[in-house]
Amino acid sequence: MIRNGWEDTVRIHEYQAKRLLKSYGIPVPRGAVAFSAAEAEAAARFLGGERWVIKAQIHAGGRGEAGGIAFANDLDEVKIAAERLLAKPLVTAETGPTGLRVKRLYVEEAVQPARELYLALYVDRSTGQVTFLGSRRGGVSITSGAVPRPEEIVKIGSDPDEPASGRAADELAARMTDDEAAVPQVGDVAKRLYRAFWELDASLIELNPLALLTNGRAVALDTRVILDDNALFRHPALEALRDDEDTPPEELEAARHEINYVAMAGTVGCVANGAGLGMATVDLLKLRGVEPANFMDIRPVATREQIATGFRMMLRNSSLTCILVNIFGGGIIRCDLVAEAMVLATREIPIRIPVVVRFAGTNAELGQKLLANSALPAEFARDLPDAVDRIERHYGKHPGGSTASRAVAAWV
């Protein structure tokens, strides 16, 4: 239900998340990690029982719909399922068309739920509260995009002065299920989840599904935990859980230079300072039918040299037809600093394409003068709508993209 989109976060694998939540007393099925089909078979034998679940461990949701979760009724089926999952990348709604390579599996005892619920805690930026989100329906019915009826959605803000947030958790549980016997179980899980959220400095904890068993017990069958990496200095043990194998190399390189960078499938490069400004720019382009090639957010602490590195990294994309940069000078990041970085970057990778620049705020005029006196073929927009108009016109000359030599670099 809650999708990707957090900046400055660390995602951990399901098996790691379950170990953390188990330490807070949240019930989870017994399971073991495996890195090969033989290890998966051994894990199932160790767990015992008659039925198991084999789950691909990647940093993306939608695994069930994509075939990343398999059930097995005997050890041979466990091995066959493991071999299949480890054989090729898994493509989900969150991975993009290339998918993510499955390098590890989680083998669990199979649990038969009587009912599946949805429960999450996240920071609601509109209210500034840590907020409970629940639904009477969970599992694939939520992740597949189905929209529950309004009465099935429960959203309750927590009271920061109430450490256990007991009132909110109890209200949530009472509204999430009509089974009176299950209400105390769901409420207890919600209270423990709230404590884990605060103590782990999480950005999101999601239980989907939270299963109700026939005996009324609540068990977290699947979970996603996203941590705030700005708080990892307080949690050395959590820092050790970070797994960057699923992160594209360019994103790791950008992070080292105080840049947030996400590659996309289009041909228009996008640069902004601030995640909100960057996402707004991307949204405006997509509304015009223009497909972005990347999302690039310059952090306030980035230096001129670091910004230049981000530009060079973006310019390596030979399919670019446009590059959009939306800079609002203020605080530490000034328009002239970004202009200097652009000039510095193009000394190594020349831009032989027009550049549309929209600078606003601190030293906007100085930034424009620096670019006007450089070798960059810059054109300047009055405002963001004007910049998007220009990009749309340039993009229309080469729909679907072309080579960089024919492209237009647009700095919005």
380 vs 382: CA distance, rounded Å: 7
What kind and span of H or E run contains 78? helix 75-87
The CB density around residue 177, as the number of other CB atoms within 10 Å, is 20
Question: Catalytic: which of 41, 108, 116, 206?
Answer: 206
Question: What distance in Å separates the CA atoms of residue 74 and residue 173, rounded to the nearest whole number?
Answer: 37
Residue 124: its H or E element: strand 115-124
Per the listing, tokens 């424009």 go with: 368
Rounded Cα distance between 14 and 19, Å, is 9
Catalytic: which of 15, 106, 118, 261?
A: 118
DSSP strands (E only) in 136-173: 153-157
Residue type, 93: A
Q: Which helix (H) or strand (E) holds 312?
A: helix 304-315
Beta strands at 322-329 and 355-361: parallel, antiparallel or unpaired: parallel
206 is annotated as an active-site residue: yes
Nearest to 67 by CA among 78, 79, 55, 52: 55
Alpha helices in 231-303 (DSSP H): 236-239, 249-256, 275-287
Q: Are 219 and 73 in contact (CB under 8 A)?
A: no
Identify the three-state secondary structure at position 301.
Answer: coil
Q: What residues are annotated to the active site?
A: 118, 206
